[in-house]
Amino acid sequence: MQPSRTSNCRSQPSGEGAGAGALNSSLQLPRLPFTRDEAAAVLSFTRGEDGRKALDFDASLDTAMSPELRNYRIVHFATHGLFLPDNPSLSGLVFSLVDRQGKPVRGFLRLQDIYNLDMPAELVVLSACQTALGKELKGEGIVGLTRGFMYAGSRRVVSSLWKVDDFATAELMKRFYGGMLRSGHPVAAALREAKLSLFRQKAWSSPYFWAAFIVQGEWK
């Protein structure tokens, strides 16, 4: 899914201490031009399997929370991520913030919403910034997006440890899905090979471009 929102990074500043109202009223998000290529590449590897691509206004909160998504083996979100360390329950993913008529709509899929999803996917990919981060709360453990999707039923989650580059992330995801769906590699092996392929190219050799994404959950 890709929202109708170009910068080098797939997130805004973490906004520590910001409340929900402040986020809704003041957040301005740059476009992510390479997410469109990323979405097309992901679907190109499905080998004729049923797939759905939601772009622009269709990449809405309603789509992200639709019961239909429980029917998909892989769910891929390419969008902005928000991590709020002071209030992790308000962290989440950002979808279209306006409808087709230009009217503001709720577009934040917050952690508290994710816990209420029914998403028994084999793999959820959070192709956004800082989606692997969380905060340890006494009596609850690490609270973050990855845990939320696992609670919703997902077996594995690919997520990021820091703010990632839009172009490099799209390239990484293309190679990751190629290895997983075309070559038949397990999730962890496909991600490792995708990282190595970027590392071997001089322009992408810095770990900043490829090392952020990790796999959590079922290892097989």
CATH number, domain with residue 137:
3.40.50
The confidence score (pLDDT) of residue 31 equals 81
Is the pLDDT assigned to residue 73 strictly greater than 90? yes
The strand pairing partners of 108, in sequence order, are 94
pLDDT tens for residues 162-217?
A: 999 999 999 999 999 999 999 999 999 999 999 999 999 999 999 999 999 999 99
Q: Which helix (H) or strand (E) holds 148?
A: helix 145-151
Greatest Cα pair distance, the chain, in angstroms, is: 47
Q: Which helix (H) or strand (E) holds 158?
A: strand 156-160
For the chain, give the mean pLDDT.
85
Q: What percent of the chain has pLDDT over 70?
A: 83
pLDDT-based confidence at residue 46 (cuts at 50, 70, 90)? confident
Is the pLDDT assigned to residue 10 strictly greater than 60? no
pLDDT tens for residues 105-134?
A: 999 999 999 999 999 999 999 999 999 998
Residue 183 is given by DSSP the state: S
The confidence score (pLDDT) of residue 175 equals 97
Q: Which domain holds residue 99?
A: 2-217
Lowest mean pLDDT among 51-65, 152-166, 203-217: 51-65
Number of domains in the chain: 1
CA distance from start to end of the chain: 26
The confidence score (pLDDT) of residue 25 equals 45
Give which of 68, 2, 67, 63 is closest to 31, Cα–Cα: 2
The confidence score (pLDDT) of residue 188 equals 96
The confidence score (pLDDT) of residue 121 equals 96
Segment 16-44 shows an average pLDDT of 69
Tokens of 152: 């919703």
